[in-house]
Chain A
Amino acid sequence: MTNKMVGVASLMGMVTALWAVFVYAPNEATMGVVQRIFYFHVSAGMMGYFAFFVVFVSGIAFLVNRDLKWDRVARCSAEIGVLFVTVNIAMGILWAKPIWGIWWTWDARLTLQLLLWILFISYLMLGAYIADPLKRASLQAVFGILAFIDVPINYMAIRWWRTQHPSPVIAGGTDSGLDPDMYIAFMITLAAFMLLYAYLLGHRLAVERTREDVEYFEQLVHSQ
């Protein structure tokens, strides 16, 4: 399956998700129509975590195999992860204003998400300031691993500190759970986001490969 087909599938998924979120899913009892932001907010957050997990795993794979292919996957995935977490935080801010009455609060989950965002922007910045590709790949892989390990410790520290964000409704405690129709709408949205991630990653990798080829030929021309 070519990446173009994944792109078309993700577009179709997004259109279906929009229908499921705005037409199919029922209105939430207390929050009303605002709650519909939930489907995109949570899906983007989940895919952000997944993208950073890919950074972590590809970082280890690079250090073990010394294959620059893994470094490329890690960097591209980090960029997409930052994008998804940005969407997640931006939608969270929009949702918080009408429901909590404030744009932002230094609650556990919000702080954690912001730190995750900052950590992986640092990761991208680090890559931009090292010239030698092999050196850059190792150093970024190491920082990616350290940053990912930091997340659960951060989670503990911040959770003891304070919590306002609602606990997870999916796979949460005993009285958690979604209305079955909402659950279906959420699953459709999540699937659409997965396809979007796959498409963006495939596309970004292709761009990166082209860039590396251009760089290679440029050096070839200059050396003559």
Chain B
Amino acid sequence: MKNTLKVERAINNFTQEELAKRIGVSRQTINSIETNRYVPSTLLALKLSKLFNKPVNDFFSLEEGE
């Protein structure tokens, strides 16, 4: 699964630390999601969707073959 979390974060002018605080995770978790090392749960994806005011599909998408 790929994502454009870094882009969304830049659009909303959040640092990794700010975004992490807003959704109740560590900065390390945000970094791992951005670098595709960790796939977040539905709950976390929905929290991000609510924060960015966009559907989850706008910043998370399946890669070819998934």
A and B pair up: no
